[in-house]
Structure 1
Amino acid sequence: MPATGHLPVPGATLYYETRGTGPVLLISQSGEGDAGRSTDLVDLLCATRTVVTYDRRGLSRSTLKDPGRGATMAEHADDVHRLLAELTDEPAAMLGCSLGAVIGLHLAVRHPAQIHTLIAHEPVAPRLLPAAERIRHEHELAEIQQIYRSEGLASAFKAIAEVLGIDTAQPDAEPDLTPQPMTPGRVANFDFFLEHDFTAVIGDALPVSELTGTTTRIIPAAGRTTPRDVFDRRCAEQLAALLGTELAEFPGGHNGNTTHPRAYAARLLDVLDAPAT
């Protein structure tokens, strides 16, 4: 069983969990993912890592003082800064997936001493892209938000899958995984994610030029099966080009951390243990 805790932060209270022993590895989830979203992956990591997962503010057990306000990407990053400061005095490793990767990029600029390595898996960061491409994808995200408001979650899922290159007709996953059911709690998390976190991504002012000066080792990553031309893959490629480094490929696609936990855990540990170049 994980150790759990609650941390007061400006405007919210964060819920978090820790498992395992060893160096700290914080996982910041994608989408509606809360502290329990990647349990299969965490179970494979906690033999050699102290794994920290948490509910982003507004999701599940991380409550907001003003539930209707939402959050900015800078506030999400400040939450992780405060959470790491609460849990460790040493630099930690961080796996950021999708939205979580953008949080990690903000943290690498603002508090680089807290993270020695950030694996940024397919960051949904339009500002990494050339201007025309950035504007097009910001409009795509705004359209998905409108689809959700007018047509509901099922229609929004289809639009999200298309933008992120997720093949719902032929799902690819490791055998013997138990899919997480669509509970009322997950539905509520998707509501917050689509209503508020989409707005945060569209309006995010990620200081891209400052990423080249951070002391955090940033490893851009993408799923092996993510199509080469979709938004999330393009962001990862542009991040790699900005930093002058290679793009690390991971098993699965955009959600490889949940669909391929065994292979993803092995790849993650290999990348973390590899010497910096």
Structure 2
Amino acid sequence: MSATVPSTSDLLRVPGAQLHHEVRGYGPVVALVGAPMGAGAFEPLADLLAADHTVLTTDPRGIDRSPLDDPEQDSTPELRADDLSRLLTHLDAGPAAVVGSSGGAVTALALAQAHPEQVHTVIAHEPPLEELLEDRERRRAATEDIIATYLEHGSGPAWGRFLAEAGITMPEGEGPGGPPEATERDPQEIADERRFFLHELRPTAHWVPDLDALRAVATRIVVGIGEASGGQTCDLTSRALADALGTEPVLFPGGHTGFVEDPGAFAAMLRTVLPGG
């Protein structure tokens, strides 16, 4: 892996929050968006793309370096999309390509609905759109159980329940929440977990895209799925979205976090679907 590419960082004041964001590279604009993952998770991928793109990364409101005025405010896809719209306007960076992963893919789709003039291409990598699935009622109940587990038993059991519901198997001793024997954890990690379970999980999983609007916009929408994600919840939701939009999903290396697992392979595949690829 090459050394980190120089970047500039700043805070943008938006209603109710400040948004930490970073810009690196030169060329066509591509925004890398996660939720709850922040800018740090995308750094290796951003460095690779910065060779011929201007790359925007950001911490979603309430996560890591993007503080909230009201820490109890929910993180809805519409609110995150508005934040991204304000960032693109502030940087005079549109229309842009937006690569969203997981909850960030939901953010990107919400942006395409609300501000299609700002985004010419959305690459939605594994959006957890559970309302598109036939067993949505069971999944709503499972989400409530995960949140209740967090409140009653803490992050370790909640992550275990979350990963089981998502169909993701982690190697023993790995995964979010830290090992059971851990006695000290990063306070920011704990705060970000709390925000995810109490204020982001439900609004993101329950978000219903306006399929008619997404079919009508000029924005090109690419649905991405990890090659290793077969049968997992986000494999199912992504295929349901692609089917509803009348498009074929594109397979990316790795699983749900393939851009972290192997950013080089992910970047190579991403270049084939970005404009000009």
- Superposition TM-score, scaled by structure 1 size: 0.89
Identity of aligned residues (%): 37
Q: Distance in 1 between matches of 2:145 and 2:238?
A: 22
Q: Distance in 2 between matches of 1:274 and 1:148?
A: 45
CA RMSD of aligned residues (A): 2.0
- 1:118 correspondence with 2:122: yes
Change (3 A) 1:115 1:171: farther
C-alpha contact 1:22 1:48 (8 A) present in aligned 2: yes
- 1:106 correspondence with 2:118: no
Q: Distance in 2 between matches of 1:84 and 1:208?
A: 24
Secondary structure at 1:185 match in 2: helix
Change (3 A) 1:89 1:16: closer
Quote the residue 2:77 is aligned against: 73
C-alpha contact 1:58 1:70 (8 A) present in aligned 2: no
- 1:188 correspondence with 2:191: yes
Q: Distance in 2 between matches of 1:45 and 1:170?
A: 33
Q: CA deviation at 1:40?
A: 1.6
Quote the residue 2:163 is aligned against: 161
Q: Distance in 2 between matches of 1:171 and 1:46?
A: 34
Q: CA deviation at 1:170?
A: 7.5
What 5-or-longer segments of structure 1 have no aligned partner? 173-181
- 1:55 correspondence with 2:76: no
Please identify runs of 4+ aligned residues in structure 1 that moved more than 4 A. Answer: none
Residue 34 of structure 1 aligns with an amino acid whose one-letter code is G
Residue 198 of structure 1 aligns with an amino acid whose one-letter code is L
Q: CA deviation at 1:41?
A: 1.4
Quote the residue 1:13 is aligned against: 18
Q: Distance in 2 between matches of 1:242 and 1:274?
A: 26
Deviates more, 1:136-145 or 1:4-13: 136-145
What 5-or-longer segments of structure 2 have no aligned partner? 1-5, 175-184
- Superposition TM-score, scaled by structure 2 size: 0.89
Q: How does 1:17-96 map to 2 (within 5 A)?
A: 17-31=22-36, 33-96=37-100
Q: CA deviation at 1:167?
A: 2.1
Q: CA deviation at 1:122?
A: 0.7
Q: Distance in 1 between matches of 2:173 and 2:100?
A: 22
Residue 4 of structure 1 aligns with an amino acid whose one-letter code is S
Residue 160 of structure 1 aligns with an amino acid whose one-letter code is F
Residue 168 of structure 1 aligns with an amino acid whose one-letter code is M
Task: Summarize deviations over 1:156-200 as a string: whole Å, max 9, x none.
Answer: 22222222332212899xxxxxxxxx6332222111111100132
C-alpha contact 1:165 1:254 (8 A) present in aligned 2: no
- 1:200 correspondence with 2:203: yes
Quote the residue 2:271 is aligned against: 269
Secondary structure at 2:48 match in 1: helix
Quote the residue 1:213 is aligned against: 216
Q: CA deviation at 1:202?
A: 4.4
Residue 9 of structure 2 aligns with an amino acid whose one-letter code is T
Quote the residue 2:246 is aligned against: 244
Task: Summarize deviations over 1:31-73 as a string: whole Å, max 9, x none.
Answer: 3x11111222112111111111111111112111111222322
C-alpha contact 1:142 1:202 (8 A) present in aligned 2: no
Quote the residue 2:3 is aligned against: none
Q: Distance in 2 between matches of 1:89 and 1:41?
A: 19
C-alpha contact 1:166 1:253 (8 A) present in aligned 2: no
Secondary structure at 2:40 match in 1: coil
Q: Distance in 1 between matches of 2:30 and 2:90?
A: 14
Q: Distance in 2 between matches of 1:203 and 1:218?
A: 21
Change (3 A) 1:119 1:202: closer
Quote the residue 1:256 is aligned against: 258
Residue 224 of structure 1 aligns with an amino acid whose one-letter code is E
Q: Distance in 2 between matches of 1:29 and 1:79?
A: 13
Q: CA deviation at 1:86?
A: 0.9
